Structure 1
Amino acid sequence: MITPFRIDIPQADLDDLTDRLARTRWPAELPLPGAGSEYGVEITRLRELADYWQYGYDWRAHEARLNELPQFTTGIDGANIHFLHIRSAAGPDALPLLLAHGWPGSIVEFLDVIEPLSEDFHLVIPSMPGFGLSGPTHETGWSAERIAHAYAELMLRLGYDTYGVQGGDWGMGIALLLAAYEPDRVVGVHLNYLPTLPPPGAELDGLPAEDLERIARTRAYVAAPHGHMVVQSTRPHTLGYALTDSPVGQLAWITEKFDEWTDPALRPVDRDRLLTNVMLYWLTGTAPSSARLYKESFADRTKPKPCPVPLGVAVFPHDLALPSRALAERAYGTLTHWTEFDRGGHFAAIEAPELLAGDVREFFGKLA
């Protein structure tokens, strides 16, 4: 059953948030001389955001904007899944396109690409199980693979026999898994994040210097992953208690990533957009279940699957790890589209929506 959905946060929850923000216990020793952002989000930045959150940010305005979009929920495999479903102005024969977000993102990431993409596509934009408006999951096992299967069922339930998929961050892995499981239904996959590493013993002679630099950077990232990855893949619940109890803690945990993973020339991300994203985690209490995705997926990690459908990649220069085209072509023989942009980072749909939307339209346009 698919049920229409409308966001209507009780005023008591907003009053509680205001009260908690007013009673924030700030560390007395910060700022610490000589300690920059490599120690974590700086207190000056965080206090400014928290003050604006308490005194200037208008949740009801952003709630109303989200409610202008058609929203639904449905139960799949024991989980509630919330999703946006926007029909294309091009008519009933438009290609359906599923947009898959990651962590610490949400459906909010895609707000600026909905209008241009809906000119050509029916858009399905789920909140990942355990994230935001989907609410928490209530059992273990919700890995990326299980989410891919749930998304396949969602598209089938919506009556879409064939469709495309676009994703970054965890959405990248989910998109590739979805294509591997449903090659007769997924017509193509477009990614804006695709780390590439050579298999052990692979020959790298002949690769351009830029590719070798990208491989070295990716190896360094894998060898020493960011702290959020270590904690969320090992003790997500211990972290979850803190983030569920402290709005400033939740704000810091997400703000750090939006500050670090974006193009320096495009920072900071609009504070209203950032806070609306944070609100979807705070109001739904999904810090623990969203963090669980790391533990479940790392425990359930299997050998990477090939992509049996046409694959397109958009490379944004300030992403966490940049792919080698040569390695991508070796790993994915179906690579048919590659674009290198001169700006943008990990949150491409927010940072450079016109570039991402244009590249998605170009890629799927080739498949028509």
Structure 2
Amino acid sequence: MRVEPYTVAVPDAVLDDLRARIRHTRWPDEAPGQAWSQGTDLAYLRDLLDCWADGFDWRARERALNRYAHKTAEVDGVRIHFVHHRGPDGAIPLVLTHGWPSTFVELLGLVDRLGDTFDLVVPSLPGYAFSPRPPRVGVDRQYVAGLWHRLMQGLGYERYGAHGGDFGAGVATHMALLQPERMLGIHVSTPEMWPYTGPGSPPLTPQEQAYVDHVARWDATERGYSAVQSTRPQTLGYGLNDSPAGLAAWVLDKWRSWSDSDGDLDATFDRDTLLTMLTLWWATGSITSSMRDYYDNRWHGTAIGPDDKVRVPTAIALFANEFVPEGNPPRSWFERLYDVRRWTPFPRGGHFAAAEVPDLLASDIADFFTP
């Protein structure tokens, strides 16, 4: 496997075009009623885009990103971008995988906190930022899990662990199902994977049934984004790829509603972090390809069957304000699929734990994987 260094470098022309489009945004009217009740608040978004155009120093952020060791490698004909941080000799290797709507940037705080102990590989999912998506359907969690195994082995690692949230939790799960002999363990921070509950499975406990019912209610009011992205990502993509305001509104609505922000994005995330991720999506034109994750996993995804069981040690980190959907399932729900060895409820944090509470998440990962 040929590995090459990579430098983050966005052309000036792309940045100039971005600023011009922001300044020529055609704004809708303000939604009546409570702020954010019908989606991203107009006043917040206008202020954020003013900052994006005139107060955000991308070149400084670019220099900060390039302090990490960026690489690219071709794996089965797919070019994968990743950050590769080498720890001390004999360090345990871990692959850390983000989800949607996120990028590798969310996980860099874990690199800062775990790098003295672990070898860390932080790939961009296919279709996100600097990892192009293969031009076909079927790029689901299991497919990516296979790519990650070949990436890790191509880097010289025989055995390794995995952490993930959102789609990353699904990738980590399938890594354990595909090649359990390679896995030291997996650590997941969101309830991404639905265990098999069909014929022949144990009946749901009252707590599990309550969770299933709650998910159904959440789906009815909050799952609209997923319904569109899993059926018409291309149609939605024309607007998001053409309008910085549309892109920011669509993504930041989720960062606000899924995080432990209490409705205040600026109190939870610094704007440089949010604008860095938005700029990466804009500069690479990858928001549409990232949304294809929903299409591929819904229509071409690998389902969890009655014989599927993760037989490698698994750690579950539960964050009190996980809003996808709101609340967390009981331990017995996870034990239907995983060999749960560590169960850690946290009193704060949400869906983007690596960016919200990186100290808590990094400590839990280190405690699980360190002998």
Q: Which bin holds the TM-score, normalised by the shorter protein? A: over 0.9
Q: Which runs of 5+ in 1 are unaligned?
A: none
| Other-structure match for 1:159 | 156
In structure 2, the residue matched to 1:251 is 248
CA distance, structure 1, for counterparts of residue 148 and residue 203 of structure 2: 37
Question: 1:145 Cα shift?
Answer: 1.6
1-structure distance, mates of 2:32, 2:249? 20
The aligned residue for residue 356 of structure 2 is 351
What is the match of residue 66 of structure 2?
67
Q: Contact between 1:197 and 1:218, CA under 8 Å: does it hold in 2?
A: no
Q: Distance in 1 between matches of 2:150 and 2:331?
A: 32
Distance in 2, matches of 1:42 and 1:24, equals 15
Distance 2:64 2:364 in 1: 26
| 1:102 aligned residue (81, 99, 104) | 99
TM-score for the superposition, normalised by structure 2: 0.92
Is 1:273 the counterpart of 2:261 in the alignment? no
Unaligned runs of 5+ in 2: none
Residue aligning to 2:42: 43
Give the Cα separation in 1 of the matches to 2:144 and 2:195: 24
Quick one: distance in 1 between partners of 2:49 and 2:74?
Answer: 35
Q: Aligned partners of 1:102 and 1:71: how far apart in 2? A: 19
**Whole-Å separation in 2 of the counterparts to 1:179 and 1:13:** 40
Post-superposition Cα deviations, 1:43-62, rounded to whole Å, max 9, x if no partner, equal: 11111111110110111111
Write the letter of the residue equivalent to 1:116: R
Q: Which whole-Å CA distance do the structure 2 matches of 1:7 and 1:302 have between them?
A: 34
Alpha-carbon shift at residue 127 of structure 1 (Å): 0.6
Residues 76/311 of structure 1: CA separation in 2 closer, same or farther (3 Å cut): same
Aligned residues: 358
Residue 315 of structure 1, aligned match among 309, 313, 318:
318
Q: Percent identity?
A: 39
Q: What are the within-5 Å matches in structure 2 for residues 158-307 of structure 1? A: 158-195=155-192, 199=197, 202-205=202-205, 213-222=210-219, 226-265=223-262, 267-268=264-265, 269-304=269-304, 305-307=308-310
Indicate how the Cα distance of structure 1 residues 230 and 57 shifts in structure 2: closer, same or farther if over 3 A, else same: same
Deviations 1:171-204 (A, max 9, x none): 0100000111111111100000115578258534
Deviations 1:204-229 (A, max 9, x none): 45x56xx6654432232345552221
> How much is the aligned-residue C-alpha RMSD, in angstroms?
1.8
Which residue number corresponds to residue 5 of structure 1? 6
Tell me by how many angstroms 1:265 deviates.
4.4
Q: Which amino acid aligns with 2:14?
A: D
For 1:266 and 1:70, locate their aligned partners in 2 and report how far apart those are by CA, in whole Å. Answer: 35
Is the alpha carbon distance of 1:137 and 1:38 closer, same or farther for their aligned partners in structure 2, counting shifts above 3 Å? farther
